[in-house]
Structure 1
Amino acid sequence: MKKLVFLFVTLLVLGLESQAVKVVTPVGDKEMEVAEMATITTTSLSGVVLDTETGEALTGVAIRFEGSNETVYTDFDGNFKITNVVPGNYNILSSYISYKDNKLKNVNVNGVNNVIRLVLKQD
């Protein structure tokens, strides 16, 4: 019991909450306990999605990691950002109405500046 109280107080001092935190892992979404999360360093992946032919930014493109249900969408300028990503290799899926679905395989997400450029072709 003393160990549990010590762990709880330690986590509060570190500024972590006592609830599960969702992170994206190479095997998809996984809820992890705070004690596990405290030892994991996460990063982010950002990028832009453009039309293959015109080079114009595409707004509202759905972006997600294969095996994950968490989806982000591109903003008005075609930009997106996925946060709380555990470093690793991922397949990135993108889909947009009237465009062919795209799968970018084995994207290495490590470090702090993980930026990609996706291009979609009209269907």
Structure 2
Amino acid sequence: MAANQFQRNDWVIYRKQKSSVSPGPRASDVHAAGKGNTYRYVVEKYWVVEEVLDDNRLKICTRRGKRHWVSADDLSLRKARWWERLLYRSRFEAIDLNSPVSLEDEIGSPTS
């Protein structure tokens, strides 16, 4: 999707790849990694577009106030479908775009 297809306050879902010794309850596509000591899996994150940048990137806000800079063309990012907006409404509405900026867990960075 091109950046011009996203707008401020759009509800988006990002499929984040993770690995750990015990996947959480929201993990999907779970596979044993390497020697089987850990698992690789995907978790869907429910975020809101805070800003559409000129360089084909989006500034995204998480439920806990973290900011991420993600390419609008990232295949892991998509707009929430109508039924996801209904089903997961509370997750999206919990996001406060006016919360202080936190850069602890960025995907990308403001300058990359």
TM-score by length of 2: 0.25
Greater percentage in strand: 1
Larger radius of gyration: 1
TM-score by length of 1: 0.24
